Amino acid sequence: MNTQQMEQMGQFKITVWEEENFQGKRCEFMLECQNIMERGFNKIRSIKVENGPWVGYEYPEFQGQQFILEKGDYPRYEAWSGNSSYRTEHLLSFRPIKCANHSDSKVTMYECEDFQGRKFELCDDYPSLQAMGWCSKEVPSIKVNSGA
């Protein structure tokens, strides 16, 4: 089943609440939301993923820390943050992860923050960034162009 068929059959569904423990204002989505504040919410503090994998973002426009959300309940931020040393108590945008075929995936790595400096596009698995010519041990910014 391709992504378009999944969307048409309602294979992506997420319900979000403004407060922890599934309290307060709530809304269901089957498509991405670039900015929950445009829907009258201040923040997302609890989530129920009913269908499909999703990614939630700390800031609007799919910016900031990302959190993978699989089917299940997320009553508080600890549920989506897991053991990550980086925690955020709310999410402000989210979208379904639509690419099941990783041959369609492409990312661009940048040598500086804010997508600046030398860049390198990846479309495949690389066991060593240094072996492919990346000199630094760090990747300050990455842009996901397509896929998951």
What are the tens digits of pLDDT across the range 41-86? Answer: 999 999 999 998 999 999 999 998 889 899 999 999 888 887 666 6
- Is residue 92 within 8 Å of residue 43, measured between CB atoms? yes
Instruction: Tell me: do 113 and 90 sit in the same domain.
Output: no
76 in a structural domain:
yes
Q: Three-class SS of residue 116?
A: strand
Q: What is the pLDDT of residue 108?
A: 92
101 in a structural domain:
no
Instruction: Tell me: do 80 and 112 sit in the same domain.
Output: no
Instruction: Tell me: do 7 and 40 sit in the same domain.
Output: yes
- Burial letters for 87-124: b for 16+ Cβ neighbours within 10 Å, e otherwise? ebebbbbbbbbbeeeeeeeeeebbbeeeeeeeeeebee
Q: What is the pLDDT of residue 6?
A: 46
Instruction: Tell me: do 115 and 58 sit in the same domain.
Output: no
Instruction: Tell me: do 71 and 131 sit in the same domain.
Output: no
Q: Indicate the pairing of strand 46-51 with strand 23-29.
A: unpaired
Could you report how far apart the first and last alpha carbons of the chain are, in Å? 17
What are the tens digits of pLDDT across the range 86-141? Answer: 677 889 999 998 765 666 788 899 999 999 998 988 887 777 888 878 888 888 89
Determine if the pTM surpasses 0.75: no
Q: What is the pLDDT of residue 92?
A: 93
CATH, residue 26: 2.60.20.10
Instruction: Tell me: do 36 and 13 sit in the same domain.
Output: yes
52 in a structural domain:
yes
- In terms of residue numbers, what domain contains 139? 106-146
Q: What 8-state DSSP symbol labels residue 103?
A: G
88 in a structural domain:
yes
Instruction: Tell me: do 90 and 124 sit in the same domain.
Output: no
Instruction: Tell me: do 88 and 124 sit in the same domain.
Output: no
Q: What is the pLDDT of residue 15?
A: 97
What are the tens digits of pLDDT across the range 15-43? Answer: 999 999 999 999 999 999 999 999 999 99
Instruction: Tell me: do 90 and 110 sit in the same domain.
Output: no
Q: How many domains does the chain have?
A: 2
At residue 98, φ and ψ (nearest 5 deg) are: -95, -15
Instruction: Tell me: do 113 and 140 sit in the same domain.
Output: yes
